[in-house]
Amino acid sequence: MSEAILDVQDKPKTGQWISLSLQHMFAMFGATILVPQLVGLSPAIALLTSGIATIIFILITQFKVPAYLGSSFAFILPITIATKTGGIGSAMIGAMFVSLVYAIVALIIWKTGYHWLMKLLPPIVVGPVIIVIGLALSGTAVNMAMTIPVGNASEYSLLHFSAAIVTLLTAIICNIYFKNIISLMPILIGIIVGYGYSAAIGIIDYGVIADAKWFAVPEFLIPGVDYSFQVTPTLLFVMVPIAIVTISEHIGHQLVLGKIVNRNYIKDPGLHRSILGDGIGTFISSLVGGPPKTTYGENIGVLAITKVFSVYVIFGAAVFAIVFSFFGKLMAVIETIPTAVLGGISILLFGIIASSGLRMLVDNNIDFGNNRNLVISSVILVIGIGGAKIEFSETFSIEGMALAAIVGVILNLVLPGMNKEEVDDGTE
């Protein structure tokens, strides 16, 4: 990488600090508020907890890792399933147990190193599971884009679908035809343009904005107050296995980020610290009603383009996110975003998730002429997308994406011919 304009430990001047931090906040804004919109959580609490989680992450990684933590897309389907079976509180409990997995993995890495993890979660397992995450959500995205609720059913609406198409095309144009900071914010820009088009065709209800206060405390969900803390085996098996994907995603982000800023984050401050920071951020988020967190590729992209690596800039973005979450009018505007607009942007996002799984397989030169690889990926894909389920009782079952991830790990461990997986930790 070329020489940094501001290195990791450099503090910018006040004016520069504000503008650079706002840039990072807007880079993550669209994706972070989209997740709660899709799963029925408060966008304000998602924004608030993203700022808090990022500050926690920076503190645990000793101000050495300039990474922003936003809402994780990997948990959209698990949260939806958990909410249908036990209410939104059950999804929050599941997220807490996911953070416990992060803590356990961090402890083991601290004591034994990280290579065992790469053996457990090689690309041939993680890649197909990521594809499942994207494709399992595809029907949701399309239905959001082209239908409107009518009583207990829904019906096709060309008018609303046109808003989805405008949103989708805008995001594609920003991503493909722009190479500066605009290309890193296609979600936010797509939503803004789609919202403007929706206003022009008259499909927005502005009533909630007029009723909203300028200052409003985000809607917290506290265990024991807003919901009972009840843990079931089904809940755990819906949420916890997704850590297979998010931990792998975390490692990938740390490797990419390390190459951009010319640091070895696997060794210093250590993978155990960054995973622990991610986990504690997720725990605090779920404790107050926010979605699980993950490091954001959008913000890593901003670092690469601007050559401003300062962790203090990321810290500033987190502070701005916390402040913005208390702007009631802004949060009300977010609530008025038409479902069709969210559906249009979701078509691209969920497709990108699936494609990133394909990219992982390609980048790691996975040979599908090898029957072992073919079997593992095939079983994961069909079980995950087909919605296979193992039902032990009326209250305990493992299904879909979670079952696919578990089966993939088991097949990789028991089938003969497993390669020794190595990870590029940034050392020569």
Task: Please calculate the CA angle 30-36-39 and round it to the nearest 5 degrees.
Answer: 135
- Which pLDDT does position 126 carry in this prediction? 86
- Which pLDDT does position 371 carry in this prediction? 94
| pTM, to two decimals | 0.82
400-414 helix and 76-86 helix, angle to the nearest 10 degrees: 120
- Which pLDDT does position 360 carry in this prediction? 84
- Which pLDDT does position 306 carry in this prediction? 78
How many CA atoms within 13 Å lie on the side-chain side of 349?
31
Number of H helices, E strands in the chain: 19, 6
Three-state DSSP class for 222? coil
- Which pLDDT does position 136 carry in this prediction? 85
Going 30 to 33 to 35 to 40, the CA torsion angle's sign is negative
CB 69 within 8 A of CB 54: yes
- Which pLDDT does position 2 carry in this prediction? 53
Query: Which amino acid belongs to residue 339?
Result: T
- Which pLDDT does position 169 carry in this prediction? 95
Return the exposure string of 159-176: e unless at least 16 CB atoms fall within 10 Å of the residue's CB, then b.
ebbbbbbbbbebbebbbe
Helix (H) or strand (E) holding 327: none
Distances (CA, A) of 313 to 19, 186, 277: 9, 21, 18
- CA-nearest of 168, 189, 193, 167 to 178 is 189
- Which pLDDT does position 154 carry in this prediction? 82
10 Å Cβ neighbour count for 413?
11
- Which pLDDT does position 395 carry in this prediction? 66
- Which pLDDT does position 426 carry in this prediction? 46
Enumerate residue ranges in the chain where pLDDT < 50. Answer: 1, 421-423, 426-428
